[in-house]
Homo-oligomer: A and B are copies of this chain.
């Protein structure tokens, strides 16, 4: 990431499960790493998604994602997922995420996350006690 990049950092080790027969990480699996990092970022802010569902009846879902795959990661690599909040609206937020292996940038992503009702999956206001933390 360019200098000045601050944000939440989450490490990921690559196991057999993450790779494919091309010898590299399967492209869909990076989205798992991005999601783990977003979940841990929320946790770092004191937000537990299980409570969010039970107390507020809402869940965060991905509405849109843009991913640039820059270099392949491989078995046994240790990666770092960097996440930062780009913007927050009433019922959604946007994050910029990057996956790095040391100095190398593996992947860049822009993710739009919506707050929706647990049952109907319709847009719902982000609860105040959550948005206050952003």
Chain B interface: which of A68-76, A97-105, A124-132? A68-76
List residues of chain B with CB within 8 A of the CB of A74.
21
Interface size for A (C-beta < 8 A) is 39
Is there contact, CB below 8 Å, between A24 and B21? yes
A28-B29, A49-B76, A67-B64 known; A35-B59 Cβ under 8 A: no
A99 to B48 CA separation, bound complex (whole angstroms): 23
CB distance from A104 to the nearest CB of B (A): 13
List residues of chain B with CB within 8 A of the CB of A68.
63-64
List residues of chain B with CB within 8 A of the CB of A19.
20-21
Judge if A57 is at the interface, Cβ distance under 8 Å: no
Partner of A27, one of B26, B35, B50, B69: B35
List residues of chain B with CB within 8 A of the CB of A66.
64-67
A22 to B64 CA separation, bound complex (whole angstroms): 18
Is there contact, CB below 8 Å, between A15 and B39? yes
Further 15 A-B residue pairs, CB within 8 A, beyond A21-B75, A22-B118, A27-B31: A15-B36, A16-B20, A16-B21, A16-B35, A17-B20, A17-B32, A17-B35, A27-B35, A28-B28, A28-B29, A31-B31, A49-B76, A63-B69, A71-B121, A72-B121
> Could you give 16 example pairs across A and B, Cβ below 8 Å?
A15-B32, A15-B36, A16-B39, A17-B28, A21-B24, A21-B74, A22-B59, A22-B118, A27-B35, A28-B31, A28-B32, A61-B72, A64-B69, A65-B66, A66-B67, A71-B121
